[in-house]
Amino acid sequence: MSQFQVGDPVVYLMTKQSSHPTLRATYVAPSQHGDSYCYVVEKFWVVKEIRGDGQLVVQTRRGKTRVLSPDDPCLKRANWWHRWVHRDRFPQLDPFASPEAAPVAKRTEAVRPSSTEK
């Protein structure tokens, strides 16, 4: 049984490297020659799908998907603090985006003749 379920908010600790760390950077360390910095940034994603082999498909804030192993040490379930403080950073899953979801019924409207037509 996987510790993750579809719709679970997750936090991924992504390692980055640049000459200017972002404001959200943690664990900042200079490179060996001092030209750049290595740091960690928290990414706030949602589990979109769990594949048959146990791999997780997560959705990013901008709608991209990534496939991750559930035992990745950089991946963790969002605790209540993350879900509350960073609630605007977690993407909202579209319930009709998955193939299992029912298609949206189109609404038909009656066409009324305008008052100028006779």
76-29-26 Cα angle (round to 5): 35
For 36, which DSSP code? S
Asked if residues 35 and 60 have their Cβ atoms less than 8 Å apart, the reply is no
pLDDT of residue 107: 44
| Residue 59 DSSP SS3 | strand
What's residue 63's pLDDT?
82
**Domain ranges for the chain:** 1-118
pLDDT computed for residue 37 by the predictor: 92
How much is the pLDDT for 116?
56
Distance from chain centroid for Cα 103: 23
User: Which pLDDT score is estimated for 102?
Assistant: 37
Q: How is residue 91 written in tokens?
A: 């993407």
Give the pLDDT of residue 5.
84
Per-residue pLDDT of the chain in tens (118 residues, 90 and over written 9): 458 888 888 999 999 999 988 888 889 999 888 889 999 998 888 888 888 888 999 988 888 889 999 898 999 887 767 766 666 766 776 655 544 443 444 444 444 455 555 4
